[in-house]
Chain A
Amino acid sequence: MEFLGLFNYWVVIVLMMIGFYIVICSNNLIKKLIGLTIFQTSVFIMYISMGKITGGTAPVLADGITLYSNPLTHVLILTAIVVGIATTALGLAIVVRIHESYGTVEEDDIHAKDKQA
């Protein structure tokens, strides 16, 4: 079953497109950030799936373990998760400041207020 074998990758593509769609089409800045996070998370899943080897265990040094999954992709994605959290935190901080100075977090309202000024 080719389709089921690639199940993870289908999930990645679906999540990625959902996230991308929210980023582009949402009017609310918080929702945009949620979309961005989903978009990034799909890539995390992709990396984690790439490292998995069927039947492999965790890469621990012990007797009887010969087949293990590739730990490198998992380590890489730990770094990327940290980066993702930092991005979300910074994005939310900016949204708070936007709310303080504009009184709204809707993109249309922000544009309208900028036009008035």
Chain B
Amino acid sequence: MIVHLSVLQVIIPLIAAPICLLLRKSELAWAFATLVAFMTLAVSVALLSQVMQSGPVSYELGGWEAPWGIEYRVDMLNAPLLVLISAISALALLASRTSIENEIPENRHTFFYIAWLLCMAGLLGITATGDAFNVFVFLEISSLATYTLIALGKDRRALWASFQYLVAGTIGATFILIGIGLMYVMTGTLNMADLAQRLPDVENTKTVFTAFAFLIVGVCMKLALFPLHLWLPNAYTFAPSIVTTFLAATATKVAVYVMIRFIFDVFGFEFSFTHFPLQEVLLTLGIAGIFVASVVAIYQDNLKRMLAYSSVAQVGYIMLGISFASQTGIMATLLHMLNHGLMKGALFLALAAVVYRMGIAQLSQMHGIASRMPLTMAAFLIGGLSLIGVPLTVGFISKWYLVSAALENGWWPVAAAILLGSLLSVVYIWRVIEVAYFKPVSESTPDVKEAPAALLIPMWILVLANLYFGIETSLTVGVSQMAAADLFGGLR
């Protein structure tokens, strides 16, 4: 059992999806999907502890030896991400039954859980695999499931958002496919570890350069790096709220992981940063993304759209960490990936509760809402503080390491830009706090009750995680530090 953990991680949700179809009844499908999500959570926690104790876990799929067969490889870099994906998925599924009551017609509930499980299997697969082509396959599994989930949104604009994402996502994935094909033609292998060994012999060829360029642009499309983020705001706004929670907390992080894996592990630090102006590109686009998206977020009335733009800005911070090209920088990136998952999970779950009660999360209708839904808005407040980066929350920890990585490089203007970006997030979070807490209840405020416990419990688990990992940092910081050391240790 223990030796099969890394494949069980992916196989359990993949097999559970068709079983869900046989269950038919909405409640049964929900109970089963939630059970499956908690099982994968248990598997990923077991994997993480195994990796922490005895190093990377390698698994040969079907017993075929590594460069020929498909290898699943779990190490310090992807084990924490596996835990994040399955934890967010389990918590969101717990809340999903209540949340989709008003947002998705009853007869589509079973399909919702099937698409969710497939999406989860895809995301976990991308993360766990050690084979470049397998990344593409799982990427498409998760993407197709995501398009379906977005199209389930109540508003008809969800369909258009889903179509837009389908076109952008397919172009991105095809770019990745081109990159992988060109790599295969030069090296004759698809295994990541094997690629890393063979690429240096051919690295000064146009083919490898082209492969790298296609791959990075394709991945940037999936992770919504400014200015390739155009699909994201609509998709997050019109998808069912609980889907947005899951996607915002996990999907872009997985794409970032793919990018880090290819830049540092497969192509290697030397190639990526000396032959390519990767540093300049990521730095410029990262900072531009932070400012443009944050400013746009300030002017949004729909809170889901506001947080969607904030997600684009946060991807900017994550890219900054990579562009520092230092061990501290990459560590800050990994830390911010996990922490951003926690805060966006909490924030979007709070919005899911608002949408559940009010039908829409429009700021102009939320005057004095905090007196009607105190627990939900308190969760939003703490999540928002974490997003800004106030001490005692996870947001502070990752911004702290980002700024210190910038100063370590002597790039004090970049450090100043990070702080300025945080000030912008103060503005857009404060707008909500002001309206919800300090404005008197007006006539346009609907008469609503506090959200049901099914939404509050997962929401507050995530909020408390935001506080806990903001104070007791040894686990998250320790894991990111070890992963960063691994990435740099393997190169020198």
Q: Which residues from chain A sit less than 8 Å from chain B, CB to CB?
A: 20, 23, 29, 32, 36, 39-40, 43, 46-47, 50, 72-73, 76, 79-80, 83, 86-87, 90-91, 94-95, 97-98, 101-102, 110, 114
| Cβ contact within 8 Å between A36 and B181 | no
| Cβ contact within 8 Å between A36 and B167 | yes
| Residue B465 at the chain A interface, CB threshold 8 Å | no
A102 to B185 Cα, complex, angstroms: 46
| Cβ contact within 8 Å between A87 and B166 | yes
| Residue B157 at the chain A interface, CB threshold 8 Å | yes
| Cβ contact within 8 Å between A87 and B140 | yes
| Cβ contact within 8 Å between B171 and A94 | no
A32 to B168 Cα, complex, angstroms: 11
Q: Which residues from chain B sit less than 8 Å from chain A, CB to CB?
A: 133, 136-137, 140, 144, 147-148, 151, 156-157, 159-160, 162-163, 166-167, 170-171, 174, 177-178, 181, 184-185
| Cβ contact within 8 Å between B163 and A91 | yes
| Cβ contact within 8 Å between B140 and A98 | no
| Cβ contact within 8 Å between A94 and B170 | no
| Complex interface: chain B residues within 8 A of A73 (CB) | 181, 184
On whether A46 and B181 interact (CB within 8 A), knowing A90-B144, A98-B163, the answer reads: yes
On whether A90 and B159 interact (CB within 8 A), knowing A43-B178, A80-B177, A97-B151, the answer reads: no
| Complex interface: chain A residues within 8 A of B163 (CB) | 29, 91, 94-95, 98
| Cβ contact within 8 Å between A94 and B147 | yes
Q: Which of B151, B159, B174, B181 is A39 in contact with, Cβ under 8 Å?
A: B174
| Cβ contact within 8 Å between B177 and A43 | yes
| Complex interface: chain A residues within 8 A of B171 (CB) | 20, 23, 36, 39
Q: Which of A76, A83, A94 is B162 in contact with, Cβ under 8 Å?
A: A94
| Cβ contact within 8 Å between B181 and A43 | yes
User: What are 17 sample pairs from A and B whose C-beta atoms fall under 8 A apart?
Assistant: A29-B163, A32-B167, A39-B174, A43-B178, A43-B181, A46-B178, A47-B181, A50-B181, A73-B184, A79-B133, A83-B137, A86-B144, A87-B144, A94-B162, A98-B160, A101-B159, A114-B157
| Complex interface: chain B residues within 8 A of A86 (CB) | 140, 144
A100 to B185 Cα, complex, angstroms: 45
| Cβ contact within 8 Å between A40 and B178 | no
| Complex interface: chain B residues within 8 A of A29 (CB) | 163
| Complex interface: chain B residues within 8 A of A97 (CB) | 151, 159
A73 to B187 Cα, complex, angstroms: 13
On whether A110 and B160 interact (CB within 8 A), knowing A43-B178, A86-B144, the answer reads: yes
Which interface residue of A20, A32, A79, A94 has the most chain B CB atoms within 10 A? A94
Closest beta carbon of chain B to A71's beta carbon, Å:
13
A79 to B174 Cα, complex, angstroms: 13
For the complex with contacts A76-B133, A94-B163, A95-B163, 19 further pairs of A-B residues with Cβ separation under 8 Å are A36-B167, A39-B171, A40-B174, A43-B177, A46-B178, A46-B181, A50-B181, A50-B185, A73-B184, A76-B181, A86-B140, A87-B140, A90-B147, A91-B163, A91-B167, A97-B151, A98-B156, A98-B163, A101-B159
| Cβ contact within 8 Å between A87 and B170 | yes
On whether A90 and B166 interact (CB within 8 A), knowing A46-B178, A47-B181, the answer reads: yes
Nearest CB in chain B to that of A46: its residue = B181
| Complex interface: chain B residues within 8 A of A50 (CB) | 181, 184-185
| Cβ contact within 8 Å between A114 and B167 | no
| Complex interface: chain A residues within 8 A of B166 (CB) | 87, 90-91, 94
Closest beta carbon of chain B to A74's beta carbon, Å:
12
| Cβ contact within 8 Å between B144 and A36 | no
On whether A98 and B159 interact (CB within 8 A), knowing A36-B170, A39-B174, A46-B178, the answer reads: yes
| Complex interface: chain B residues within 8 A of A101 (CB) | 156, 159
A86 to B115 Cα, complex, angstroms: 14
A83 to B147 Cα, complex, angstroms: 14
| Complex interface: chain B residues within 8 A of A102 (CB) | 156
| Complex interface: chain B residues within 8 A of A114 (CB) | 157, 160
| Complex interface: chain B residues within 8 A of A72 (CB) | 184
Closest beta carbon of chain B to A41's beta carbon, Å:
10
Closest beta carbon of chain B to A49's beta carbon, Å:
10
| Cβ contact within 8 Å between A83 and B140 | yes
| Complex interface: chain A residues within 8 A of B185 (CB) | 50
Closest beta carbon of chain B to A22's beta carbon, Å:
11
| Cβ contact within 8 Å between A94 and B140 | no
A53 to B238 Cα, complex, angstroms: 50
Nearest CB in chain A to that of B185: its residue = A50
Nearest CB in chain A to that of B141: its residue = A83
Which interface residue of B140, B148, B166, B174 has the most chain A CB atoms within 10 A? B174
Closest beta carbon of chain B to A104's beta carbon, Å:
11
Nearest CB in chain B to that of A105: its residue = B163
| Cβ contact within 8 Å between B167 and A94 | no
| Complex interface: chain A residues within 8 A of B136 (CB) | 80
A28 to B170 Cα, complex, angstroms: 18
Nearest CB in chain A to that of B189: its residue = A72
